[in-house]
Chains A and B, each alone.
Chain A
Amino acid sequence: SQQGEEDPQALSIQEGENATMNCSYKTSINNLQWYRQNSGRGLVHLILIRSNEREKHSGRLRVTLDTSKKSSSLLITASRAADTASYFCATINAGGTSYGKLTFGQGTILTVHP
């Protein structure tokens, strides 16, 4: 089953604009990760934020995490046409030995127009 919802399901913007995607999840987590997928191919890891962190940056990416609301957001600044892809949040649940068991959201399809 899916962990939760991603919002919006699709996002269309112009090059240079910022793109914000949101993710909600249902259970307590160890960490939350964002992955990118081009055209139904393999996923590429973008950034990981731990449950005791509130914000993290990597290049043009900024991720926030609000564990009280069980939600996260991914901001891509100064978007480029090459950022066009599907973006997924994924969580590793707290407790147990579920290190490899990522639970994914349904994804946001981002289209950046040149």
Chain B
Amino acid sequence: ETGVTQSPTHLIKTRGQQVTLRCSSQSGHNTVSWYQQALGQGPQFIFQYYREEENGRGNFPPRFSGLQFPNYSSELNVNALELDDSALYLCASTSTRQEETQYFGPGTRLLVL
């Protein structure tokens, strides 16, 4: 167990809708990263939040946005869902920006129809 939880476990949405995914990190972990993993692929970095501010972003459009809260929880929001957004979304946390090992949650599987 990594101490990182995510909700919901599974989600089905239709194209054009908006979705919010949630992650709860270990106490004391002030850095959270989000990854998208398409079926059969490795995870791809979406963005990282450190102390409630975005601290780096991968090649994802602005309709992917996030929030981090002081209670070690965070959100990933995706607007105007597209079919290709169907994937497993993983959050990972660390206690500091310098820590190199990521502690992953179990993921949220999103299906866009």
**Residue of chain B at shortest CB distance from A92:** B100
**Which of A14-22, A38-46, A60-68 contacts its partner?**
A38-46
A58 CB to closest chain B CB (Å) equals: 12
Residue A75, interface by CB 8 Å? no
**Which of B11-19, B41-49, B62-70, B78-86 contacts its partner?**
B41-49
**Which one of A97, A101, A106 contacts B58 once the chains associate, using CB atoms below 8 Å?**
A101
Could you tell me if B97 and A99 are in contact, using CB atoms closer than 8 angstroms?
A: yes
Q: A99-B99, A104-B42 are in contact. Are A40 and B109 (CB under 8 A)?
A: yes
Q: A40-B109, A43-B104, A104-B44 are in contact. Are A99 and B58 (CB under 8 A)?
A: no
Q: How far is the CA of A42 from the CA of B4 in the complex (A)?
A: 10
Could you tell me if A102 and B41 are in contact, using CB atoms closer than 8 angstroms?
A: no
Q: How far is the CA of A102 from the CA of B102 in the complex (A)?
A: 9
**Which one of A43, A45, A97 contacts B90 once the chains associate, using CB atoms below 8 Å?**
A43
Could you tell me if B48 and A100 are in contact, using CB atoms closer than 8 angstroms?
A: yes
Residue B2, interface by CB 8 Å? yes
Residue B31, interface by CB 8 Å? yes
- B interface footprint on A3-40 (CB within 8 Å = 1, 0 otherwise): 00000000000000000000000000011010100001
B7 CB to closest chain A CB (Å) equals: 13
Could you tell me if B4 and A102 are in contact, using CB atoms closer than 8 angstroms?
A: no
Q: A99-B97, A99-B99, A100-B55 are in contact. Are A42 and B44 (CB under 8 A)?
A: no
**Which one of A2, A40, A41, A100 contacts B102 once the chains associate, using CB atoms below 8 Å?**
A100
**Which one of B58, B97, B106 contacts A41 once the chains associate, using CB atoms below 8 Å?**
B106
Q: How far is the CA of A56 from the CA of B76 in the complex (A)?
A: 36
Q: Which positions in A face B, CB cutoff 8 Å?
A: 1-2, 30-31, 33, 35, 40-45, 48, 88, 90, 92, 97-107
Q: Can you give 9 A-B contacts (C-beta < 8 A)?
A: A33-B100, A48-B100, A88-B42, A90-B42, A99-B98, A100-B94, A102-B33, A104-B35, A104-B42
